[in-house]
Structure 1
Amino acid sequence: MLTEKNILDIQELQKLCENAEDFSLKLNWEMLKTRESSIDDYLYYEGEHLIGFLALYGFGESYELCGMVHPDYRQRGIFTDLFNKAYKSLQVRECEKLLINAPSKSQSAKGFIRSINAEYSFSEYQMEWKSMNVEVDHSEILLRRASTNDKRTIIDLDVKCFNVSEKDAHSFQRVLNNEEGHRYYMIEYKSETVGKINVHTDDKTSYIYGFAVFPEFQGKGIGRNALAQIVLNEAQKEQKIFLEVATKNENALGLYHSIGFQTYQTQDYYLHKPL
């Protein structure tokens, strides 16, 4: 479990690294702040100063990895040392896949990727909503807060829409349930539950994710209407609104653009194998 000092040191190191290369690291702070053990966090200190940090984020048998090293201390094998420790811990767990996350602009990250057995997997656009007029229809498409009775539907949506295993989908739901500021909404069309959308709020920022509509109900404007309702609700509270979308998902990308989202950064993911 990260201490209060660890959290502050990681935040300070993140700011320093981001300013040095003009990018944003995806450190999944909502997960870092709710850790129940220290098995997934690797810190490198010199005296009182945090020089390097690496985090693992587990979802069932799949893991994501993100980290950083102080710009003045690179090329000294620090990140390699942290990576090797994290990788060793995964070898004794049930881990089928490890994805390494790196901002597209980070040259230092790309250098490390080239030095290990990893191959490009996919990229995500990080998008922010910019003010625009959005119309919604409340007559047939409604949002309601999710209940425990929706668990099975949520799992089915993750499996069918995001191509994840059922075990990983169950694990992901357990992680989300431990987060503060998390809200699940179910999408209803003509009184039938057809999708879901998640919102995580942190101060004046709202993150939309886990947005899915069953394939048989896609292409009917249901998703666009539901997303518009969420955006307007968050905008009324003067929240900044963000989401992410895979760069290859042209349908979703077009939908987000039509509502007023604009891309501000790209995150790349690399598959490390074998485990």
Structure 2
Amino acid sequence: MCKDGFEFVSYSSPTAAVLQEIEALVESVEGGTGIVSAISFDHVLNCDKEMDCYFLAYAGSLLVGAATVFAPKADEGEIALCVRADHRRCGIGSALLAHAIEVLDRHRVASRILICDAKSVSGASFVRTHATTELFSEYTMGLSGGLPANVEGDVAIRVATDADVPRMAEICAAAYGDPMAESRQFIETSMIAVQREGYVGSVGTDLVAVCFISTSAGARSVNTVAVDPRFQGRGYGREFLTKILHAQPRDGLKVVLDVNSTNANAFRLYVRLGFEILSDIRYYRV
């Protein structure tokens, strides 16, 4: 698709060379600004593997804009985008967003969410034009000052196995309020994802907690932390996560996690463990 001298293309699974182009674009946009584009490179968890989730804009051979869709749920897609500073106000962002929404409509994804760093002035302007309602923030938090003090207690941790998947799905469905089938699919996909390892925590014979650790070149990310609601309020979540952190290699990678601003209990837990807010990504209905 071409518009006003720009060429627009989309992919469900781009080549390594295209991914490098996107990474270079993101680096050029984010570099030195302290602003996070929130462009997602981890689409293995997308519910529909055939759906295009990378949307690119070229001026000749130069990649000048990109949007991605992260859609681990069948009914919701998160759209992030970035455009080179010298190509803004040319309609590129609007065209990328429209293209992403068109694909989500085609795949019957009813809920479309635009995400934007709260510090981005140009992003705020874009949001005012294209979004309707601010929903919440997602804080990326980083562990500062070293690991929290290890704890002794009743929670035993281990690497998750395929046999744990049904119980892991039950815990996540109960903790997050998601449909069981959706949680089961998410856990199954997470278990086979590259550079992602699942952990479970048990108290006696009861499996009570779940999380995943994703490792990249720059960081170790804690994902999908969930404690069975029947066992919450007893300190098991703090003990579980502390032991998970101590089980990771001492390789110098920074440890990060994301938390929804509406999840006050989890936010307080992460602060007590020594995590600090690194970025504030706002979520908007479009």
Q: Encode CA deviations 1:4-47: one digit per residue, 9 max, x unaligned.
A: 22111111110111136431222232327999657121110111
- Change in 2 beyond 3 A, CA 1:57/1:132: closer
The answer to whether residue 18 in structure 2 is matched with residue 2 in structure 1 is no
The answer to whether residue 19 in structure 2 is matched with residue 12 in structure 1 is no
Q: Which deviates more, 6-15 or 91-100? A: 91-100
Aligned to 1:159: 173
Looking at secondary structure, tell me which structure has more helix per residue. Answer: 1
Q: Which deviates more, 94-103 or 211-220? A: 94-103
The answer to whether residue 58 in structure 2 is matched with residue 45 in structure 1 is yes
- Change in 2 beyond 3 A, CA 1:45/1:38: farther
Distance 1:32 1:72 in 2: 32
SS of structure 2 residue aligned to 1:82: helix
Distance 1:32 1:171 in 2: 12
Q: Give the alignment of 1:158-177 within 5 angstroms.
A: 158-177=172-191
Q: Encode CA deviations 1:168-199: one digit per residue, 9 max, x unaligned.
A: 32443354245311000011112310110110
Letter matched to residue 257 of structure 1: V
Match of 2:70 among 34, 57, 61: 57
Aligned to 1:26: 38
User: Where has structure 1 moved over 4 Å in runs of 4 or more?
Assistant: 32-38
Distance 1:173 1:31 in 2: 14
Cα displacement (A) at 1:130: 1.4
In structure 1, stretches of 5+ residues that fail to align are: none
Q: Give the alignment of 1:184-263 within 5 angstroms.
A: 184-234=198-248, 236-263=250-277
For this pair of structures, how many residues does the alignment match?
Answer: 272
Letter matched to residue 257 of structure 2: L
Cα displacement (A) at 1:89: 1.4
Distance 2:254 2:217 in 1: 10
Letter matched to residue 14 of structure 2: L
Aligned to 2:5: none
Q: Give aligned-pair identity as a percent.
A: 21
Q: Contact 2:44–2:193 at 8 Å: present in 1 too?
A: no
Distance 1:182 1:30 in 2: 11
Aligned to 2:144: 130
Cα displacement (A) at 1:101: 1.2
SS of structure 2 residue aligned to 1:234: coil
Distance 1:83 1:271 in 2: 13
Match of 2:98 among 70, 78, 84: 84
Q: Give the alignment's TM-score, normalised by structure 2.
A: 0.87
Aligned to 1:103: 117
Q: Which deviates more, 262-271 or 128-137? A: 128-137
Q: Which deviates more, 62-71 or 31-40? A: 31-40
The answer to whether residue 266 in structure 2 is matched with residue 266 in structure 1 is no
Q: Contact 2:54–2:68 at 8 Å: present in 1 too?
A: yes
Q: Encode CA deviations 1:176-226: one digit per residue, 9 max, x unaligned.
A: 245311000011112310110110011352100100101121111111011
- Change in 2 beyond 3 A, CA 1:175/1:26: farther
Q: Encode CA deviations 1:86-133: one digit per residue, 9 max, x unaligned.
A: 111121213131121111111222212211243111101111111346
SS of structure 2 residue aligned to 1:159: helix
Distance 2:49 2:175 in 1: 29
Distance 1:185 1:56 in 2: 27
